[in-house]
Amino acid sequence: MKTSSRERSDTTELRIEGWLPLHWGTLVTLGLLMVVVGSMGLIWTPVYSLGVATAFGAFLFALGMVELVSMVFLGNWRTMGGLPHALVALAYVIGGGYALINPPAAAAGLTFAISVMLLFIGAVRLSLSLALRSAGLSWGWTMAASLVDLLLALLIIVGWPESGVWVPGLLFAVELLMNGWLLLALGWVLRKLAEGIDSTREA
């Protein structure tokens, strides 16, 4: 027996209605929190840079320790490739520990890695834009994006290592702001959808 469009609509509304009231408020709350924290990061960029470097160091240190402990208890260090794996884990522990002890140096290292990444991405996009231009396809936006990447990379490198004071924190703050506004917009859309379902049922 075929399900009528009305029954399918009622089922969809019930599923949506059960989900929206629980989640749209959570999305808005998280979005507001991200926007506030991200806005603070634009003011306290050096503090956020040190925080990012410290968190990165803690992640590396924990990852290396987990790898080393698992290798000792499981005996993986005796297998083929165990020694190189152990050396990599030890490098994580040393690098992460150094970042925890000296966050400014870790922030400078992260900044240099970011500049290299931007240079690579910019070069790839530039070559892609030239290939698109040769093929007679749209290439302007790709070229513009590549120039922005290369310009940012050069600005960071010219100001390095002093740029390590603000680059990680600024990027983290901007990321929080973008995700925060995205969650706010999504929460607003879901709220309107929930209100529309309620008004339809009342009618």
* Residue 143: predicted pLDDT: 87
Asked if residue 201 belongs to a domain, the reply is: no
25 within a domain of the structure (yes/no): no
Amino acid sitting at position 126: L
What pLDDT sits at residue 152?
A: 87
Q: Is 90 contained in some domain?
A: yes
Low-confidence ranges of the chain (pLDDT < 50): 1-3, 5-14, 16, 19-21
Count how many domains the chain has. 1
Domain-embedded: residue 151: yes
Q: Can you give the pTM of this predicted structure?
A: 0.68
Whether 129 maps to a domain, the answer reads: yes
| Mean pLDDT rounded to a whole number for the chain | 81
Q: Which class for 106: exposed (0-12), middle (13-18), buried (19 or more C-beta within 10 A)?
A: buried
33 lies in some domain: no
Confirm whether 79 is domain-assigned. yes
Q: What's the CA gap between 22 and 162, in Å, rounded? A: 46
**pLDDT single digits (tens) 142-174:** 888 889 889 988 988 888 888 888 888 888 998
The whole-number pLDDT of residue 1 equals 46
Residue 196 belongs to a domain: no
| Alpha-helical segments (H) within 102-166 | 103-134, 140-158
Which pLDDT value is given to residue 101?
93
Look up the domain containing 136 and give its range: 44-189
Cα gap 96→101, rounded to integer Å: 9
What integer pLDDT is reported at residue 197 of this predicted model?
59
